[in-house]
Chain A
Amino acid sequence: MLDKNGIAKRIAKEVKNGYYVNLGIGIPTLVANFVRDDIEVEFQSENGVLGMGPFPYEGEEDADIINAGKQTITTMPGASFFDSATSFSMIRGKHVHLTILGAMEVSENGDIANWKIPGKMVKGMGGAMDLVASADNIIVAMMHTNKRGESKLLKRCSLPLTGVGCVTKVVTNLAVLEIKNNQFYLLERAPGVSVEVIQNATEGTLIIEGEIPEMNL
């Protein structure tokens, strides 16, 4: 079974040379730590920066330079700043190649819910609805089950949706899954996790074809 860093490490393998990548808050943010350093990648933060760098050294924080998680950051050589409309032109206009975000629920037809628990938690969607509605290449990073042990990979989402039919890949602490034909296809198992464990933790339709390899981290 993977921890959060393990999930991020596996997703980092999906980041290819020449990609502009948008990372959501939480596990997705960790992906930047594991991207190979022999490829050229630029990270976009939807609040208005392309070419995001690591956190600043202590004493060098600048209140005017933050990421979408409101954390102080630095920029890489070649970075740029822009307004929010330009930022979402990059996203809506499909100039960003890969979007990685967290979720509370994903359904077998690619719906995603990650912004609201009615009557309980209302934080808002931020840029998530724009991201999932436009990006062609969306990877969801999340735990396979919630805190009560219930599956987050469902036949149908129970929470208010963020987007419909948009998720193509899910990486969890247990598995890598692809969504197509309204089904979850099991592609890889996390180290030491059996197909049976994944099957039991997946409420949606799970397709298992042939021998399922263990992730190569």
Chain B
Amino acid sequence: MINKKVNNVREALLGVTNNMTFMLGGFGLCGIPENAISELVRLEIKNLTCISNNAGIDNFGLGLLLQNKQINKMISSYVGENDEFERQMLSGELEVELTPQGTLAEKCRAAQAGFPAFYTPAGYGTEVAKGKETREFDGKMHVLEPAFKADFAFVKAWKGDVAGNLIFKGTARNFNPLMCGAATITVVEVEELVPLGVLDPNQIHTPGIFVQRIFQGEKFEKRIEQRTVRKRS
């Protein structure tokens, strides 16, 4: 077993500096690396490029880094829940590369899997395809999309062991497994870090080989963005 455990979030984020590119898991506020984000806020590093499906909300998630003006560029598919984001984007303070969600996922997976690029039909004929190579396959047009390159991936999993094996829960899985191994260093925060041998190898979602550092997060607030319920009849 190769031990990936670090003691806390400070150790986990050793080496992050200004001007880096980060991948951050999560969909909305579901499955975001809350502890890594808090630490990035504390470190006050700036000029960051962040790859994340969404940009958090005004006072939580990546919204915290935006408020601090730590992010220079966002690569996302949907940013509609964040007024500060929209303000910074429309004023030109923040560079934004909007990417179709499936393409965003695949650009992570391609980086993880060692593919330099791939063709997808998504975005053909739209401004997303501007300046990109296109090619016809089976009578249909496709756009060439390169894999992402990033310095750190910050991932949130439900359970993990010290070998870095991971299990995700519910829709908190989303982009997290795809970002593991897609950056130079993958840092995973888990709700529960268990001893070796506790997790059933048959049930592992992400094998530890894709993970460099793992720690048990100190606190998970797990905010709900849209609390929708039905009445008991």
> Which residues of A are in contact with B by a Cβ distance under 8 Å?
45-49, 54-58, 60-73, 81-85, 87-88, 91-92, 111, 115-116, 119, 122-130, 133-134, 160-165
A160 to chain B: closest residue by CB = B127
A137 to B31, CA, bound (A): 31
The 3 closest A-B pairs by CB, nearest first: A88-B102, A123-B80, A130-B102
A82 to B229, CA, bound (A): 23
A162 to B79, CA, bound (A): 16
Contacts of A122 in B (CB 8 A): 79, 86, 89-90, 96, 98
Query: In this assembly, does B207 line the interface, its C-beta being within 8 Å of a C-beta of chain A?
Result: no
Given the interface pairs A63-B222, A122-B86, A123-B80, the reply to whether A130 lies near B229 with Cβ below 8 Å is: no
Q: Would B109 and A85 count as touching, CB distance under 8 A?
A: yes
Q: Would B30 and A58 count as touching, CB distance under 8 A?
A: no
B31 to chain A: closest residue by CB = A64
Interface residues of B in 148-182 (CB under 8 A from A): 158, 168-178
Q: Would A83 and B173 count as touching, CB distance under 8 A?
A: yes
Contacts of B100 in A (CB 8 A): 125-130
A85 to B27, CA, bound (A): 13
B229 to chain A: closest residue by CB = A58
A130 to B100, CA, bound (A): 6
New A-B contacts (6) at CB < 8 Å, excluding given A72-B224, A124-B79? A72-B226, A124-B76, A129-B103, A160-B126, A164-B125, A164-B126
Among B77, B124, B169, B176, point to the contact of A126 (Cβ < 8 A): B77
A112 to chain B: closest residue by CB = B126
**Which of the listed residues B28, B79, B175 has the most CB atoms from chain A within 10 Å of its own CB?**
B28
A83 to chain B: closest residue by CB = B177
A125 to B78, CA, bound (A): 6
Contacts of B29 in A (CB 8 A): 63, 70
> Which residues of B are in contact with A by a Cβ distance under 8 Å?
27-31, 53, 76-81, 86, 89-90, 96, 98, 100-106, 108-109, 120-128, 158, 168-178, 205, 222-232
Q: A-side binding surface: helix, strand, loop or mixed?
A: loop
Q: Would A70 and B122 count as touching, CB distance under 8 A?
A: no
A52 to chain B: closest residue by CB = B171
Q: Would A81 and B171 count as touching, CB distance under 8 A?
A: yes
Contacts of A162 in B (CB 8 A): 126
Q: Would A134 and B122 count as touching, CB distance under 8 A?
A: yes
B120 to chain A: closest residue by CB = A92
Q: Would B122 and A130 count as touching, CB distance under 8 A?
A: yes
A56 to B169, CA, bound (A): 17
A161 to B31, CA, bound (A): 31
A161 to chain B: closest residue by CB = B126
Contacts of B31 in A (CB 8 A): 64
A69 to chain B: closest residue by CB = B226
Q: Would A92 and B121 count as touching, CB distance under 8 A?
A: yes
A134 to chain B: closest residue by CB = B121
Interface CB pairs A-B, < 8 A, 11 = A46-B102, A58-B232, A62-B170, A64-B31, A71-B227, A122-B79, A122-B98, A128-B100, A133-B121, A163-B125, A163-B126
**Which of the listed residues A47, A56, A67, A72 has the most CB atoms from chain B within 10 Å of its own CB?**
A47
B143 to chain A: closest residue by CB = A133
Contacts of B105 in A (CB 8 A): 83-85, 87-88
